[in-house]
Amino acid sequence: MPHTNPRFISRLTRNTLALILAGGRGSRLKQLTAWRSKPGVPFGGKFRIIDFPLSNCINSGIRRIGVLTQYKAHSLILHIQKGWGFLRGEFGEFVELWPAQQRVAETAWYAGTADAVFQNLDIIRDHDPEYILILAGDHIYKMDYGAMIAHHVETGADMTVGCLEVDTERAREFGVMSVDNDGRVRRFAEKPANPETIPGQPDHCLASMGIYVFNRGFLFEQLLKDSDMPGSSHDFGKDIIPNVINLYRVMAYTFRDPRSGDQAYWRDVGTLDAFWEANLELIGITPPLNLYDNNWPIWTYQEQLPPAKFVFDDDDRRGMAVDSMVSGGCIISGATVRHSLLFSNVRVNSFSQVSDSVILPDVEIGRHCIVRKAIVDRYCQLPEGTQIGVDAEADRRAGFQVSEGGVTLVTPEMLGQEANQVR
């Protein structure tokens, strides 16, 4: 009988309200976020980044969810309306969209992560949760939040911070928690030059995931204090955590794989190189993130499309894909695709070669094209004979974005093409 892990679907998760902070611009993704927020960026062939924290909530038994949007959110809003409308409001289940809407004084935009929640305190009060789970909307991972909420309650915490174990070099990119032997947070440093390590693990540190569990009353109290604090940036990491760790019980919860006990899969796809790498990880024989896991499905909106099709079988004109993932609606017409991920409705025409690339939805690649180590944004139409990723300097001269790791990003605007800006 296969081993199964218990899920903490209980009164704790039923009495939890999840808030997903989905307003981030994601500027390090360059032109990939010119017309969409980072949580709305497509990922994994048929998903968007926001689908991962949303699916984690549903799979954890948390069915009361607010999504806080801000930057260029239209495509994200459409996606959630189409794909996440299956919850039944009459049963107390919902995914609500909470845009910045001047609910407090004359503030137009969310000034920081804490301010985003503060501006919606009246809505939170109406939902009357016992616990509030605050999530970043722009990371890729699978996590049972019920276990974290149970840990929060068992340890008598006022606030619990989800953490990753990372090496000391990588820790400089995160907010780092310093904990005692009981896991209580004693100090916090944002992107420290010399991060403190975990007790007994001199080579590893605890890095904040931007995931928090609060008792309702405690959260309200701290947000009200922070809103009146001169000079505050109104951010959970920069302001709330440093101000509460010495006075209240703040606990760290280490995110581990429930089967192996090792560090669980988690990716911040915040740069072009990280986005490209995380997508291409999925096509491996045993990828670190299993999208074929029936016990933890990733839910999304997917329009009804025909199966992928591969046509022509001549020696010099064979439609084929090797070591790749090809989504519905794609047509590989006498072209070769290797070690690549194709989203929905991509057409690759005869005599073209695509390798080591991520091709977003609704792209057409003309005949005799070569595409290597590239990200091709939605709605691009590559003219016949286009070469991408062959010569980095030529790519730059053509107006394409070349990353530090040599990944070439192409968008319709770079090609001089008009395209639907709702991406």
Burial of 95 (0-12, 13-18, 19+ CB in 10 A): buried
Burial of 388 (0-12, 13-18, 19+ CB in 10 A): buried
Architecture field, domain 6-283: Alpha-Beta Complex (3.90)
Q: Which pLDDT value is given to residue 2?
A: 41
Question: How many whole angstroms separate alpha carbon 335 and alpha carbon 347?
Answer: 10
Supply 282's token pair: 């999925």
**How many other C-beta atoms can be found within 10 angstroms of the C-beta atom of residue 343?**
26
Question: How many whole angstroms separate alpha carbon 399 and alpha carbon 369?
Answer: 17
Please say whether the beta carbons of 161 and 177 come within 8 A.
yes
Please say whether the beta carbons of 412 and 419 come within 8 A.
yes
Cite the annotated binding site for alpha-D-glucose 1-phosphate by residue number: 110, 175, 190-191, 208
Q: Is 135 left (phi over 0), alpha (psi -120 to 50) or beta?
A: beta
Describe the strand order of the beta sheet including 336-338 as a list of residue ranges: 320-322, 336-338, 353-355, 370-372, 387-388
Please say whether the beta carbons of 375 and 276 come within 8 A.
yes
Got the DSSP string for 35-97? SS-GGGSEETTTEETTHHHHHHHHHTT--EEEEEE-TT-HHHHHHHHHHS--S-GGGT-EEEE
Question: How many whole angstroms separate alpha carbon 380 and alpha carbon 400?
Answer: 12
Average pLDDT, consecutive stretches of 10 residues, N- to C-terminus, the chain (423 residues): 49 93 91 95 97 96 95 93 84 89 69 93 95 96 95 97 94 92 93 91 93 97 94 92 95 90 91 98 95 93 93 95 98 98 98 98 98 98 98 98 98 93 83
Beta strand extents in 63-184 (DSSP E only): 64-69, 94-99, 131-136, 139-141, 159-167, 175-179
The amino acid sitting at 198 is I
At residue 124, φ and ψ (nearest 5 deg) are: -60, -45
Query: By three-state DSSP, how is residue 115 classified?
Result: helix
Got the DSSP string for 193-247? SSPPPBTTBTTEEEEEEEEEEEEHHHHHHHHHHHHT-TT----IIIIIHHHHTTT
> How far is C-alpha 304 from the geometric centre of its chain's CA atoms?
24
At residue 113, φ and ψ (nearest 5 deg) are: -65, -40
Supply 92's token pair: 């107390």
Check whether domain 309-415 has CATH 3.40.50.300, yes or no: no
Where is 375: in which H helix or E strand? strand 374-376
Supply 342's token pair: 């194709």
Question: How many whole angstroms separate alpha carbon 25 and alpha carbon 38?
Answer: 6
Where are the chain's structural domains? 6-283, 309-415
- List CB contacts of 125: < 8 A, sequence separation 6 or more: none
Q: Which pLDDT value is given to residue 3?
A: 42
Cite the annotated binding site by residue number: 110, 175, 190-191, 208
Please say whether the beta carbons of 232 and 239 come within 8 A.
yes
Q: Is 244 left (phi over 0), alpha (psi -120 to 50) or beta?
A: alpha
Please say whether the beta carbons of 341 and 282 come within 8 A.
yes
Q: What angle do CA 166, 278, 190 make, to 5 degrees?
A: 35
- List CB contacts of 139: < 8 A, sequence separation 6 or more: 49, 52, 53, 209, 210, 266, 267, 268, 269
